[in-house]
Amino acid sequence: MAFIHVKGPAKTEAFKKTASVAIAAASPLSFDGSAGYVRQSAVASVRIAGVSLKKITSSSDDYASNTMIEVIIPSSDDVFEADVTGTATQANVGEQYDLSALTDGTAQNVDVGATTYKVVTVVGFISSSKVLVKFNGAYEYANKAN
């Protein structure tokens, strides 16, 4: 499922994407080094550019180009529903976690067993497989120095 926007203003902006790299819809995106393009976030990405509103596959017309892709820019008011890697409980609420491992074109989850990079904070429990999160990179919300 990836990261589905459920609350907040959902401000969007377009960024150029990295050419020839698959992107799953509703996945966190980060800037790709010094090139200034976006691609799916690596586990160690702590500055999230946004959440993808479009799926890019190798069969997409613009796959091999640096075309624009619309993203939701997470703010301190935006909440996303996310699947988890591991088993979520109510005890996860208020804790910070990493993203799951990156496979280009495959939706990422919140890894409730990993706390090295602390990309998201769980703000609500839905089920053992779903939580509500805010991105810590929303500067007003961040409670960790990244």
pTM over 0.85: yes
Mention the CATH class of domain 8-135: mainly beta
Condensed to tens digits (0 to 9), the pLDDT of residues 107-123 reads 899 999 999 999 999 99
Backbone angles phi, psi at 77, to 5 degrees: -95, -10
Tell me the per-residue pLDDT of 24-69, one tens digit each, with 9 for 90 and over.
999 999 988 768 899 999 898 888 999 999 999 999 999 999 999 9
Pairing of strands 96-99, 68-72: unpaired
